[in-house]
A = this chain, B = another copy of it.
Amino acid sequence: MTELVTPRPPLGCAAVMGGLFRAALQEHHLPVTHQREAVARILFESGRHLSADEVSDRLSLINENVGKATVYRTLRLLVRVGLATEHDFDEGFKRYETRVGPAHHDHMICTACGAVVEFHRDELDRVQTEVAGATGFRVLTRQLKLYGLCADCDAGSGQALRQVI
């Protein structure tokens, strides 16, 4: 159930925090607070899909005491201003990921071990545009998740199905 995504390089984290982050908030007339910077930095530095809890834990580790409510509020905020994306990998909670630029990618999730692999296909952007045109929607973003078994888990499958209470 742990995160098995290959960590991306920091992606110019310093630059983002120095400029893009402040700019995005100011553009929406939102105050730049110490807590918001801290939460954003954690997310940008990790380059992974973090849950609110994980963000909170990592903040504690560096003695940044940010209330959990603020963590939730800030993550929601980052999504709204377009700096982060929310994901639901069916774990019972949400995960958040930074979103820098329009380079969209999608996810493949192993339903057995929880491994998450990112991938990108150009065709998907085209499909998105076509469907939008056909239905009159203005598509802002997409979430494509392929569920299945990773190579490792595919080997040892075939257990009995029971309701398990």
**A residues whose Cβ falls under 8 Å from a Cβ of B:** 28-30, 73, 77, 80-81, 86, 88, 90, 108, 110-111, 117, 119, 121, 123-124, 127-128, 130-132, 134-151, 154, 160-163
Contact = CB atoms under 8 A, between A and B. Distances in A.
Give this chain's copy count.
2
Nearest to A149: B138
A136 B150 contact: yes
A30 B163 CA distance: 8
Given A142-B144, A143-B145, A151 B163 contact: no
A154 B135 contact: no
Contacts of A73: 163
A138 B162 CA distance: 22
Contacts of A161: 28-30, 80-81
Contacts of A147: 139-143
Contacts of A111: 140
Nearest to A30: B163
A140 B121 CA distance: 19
Nearest to A120: B131
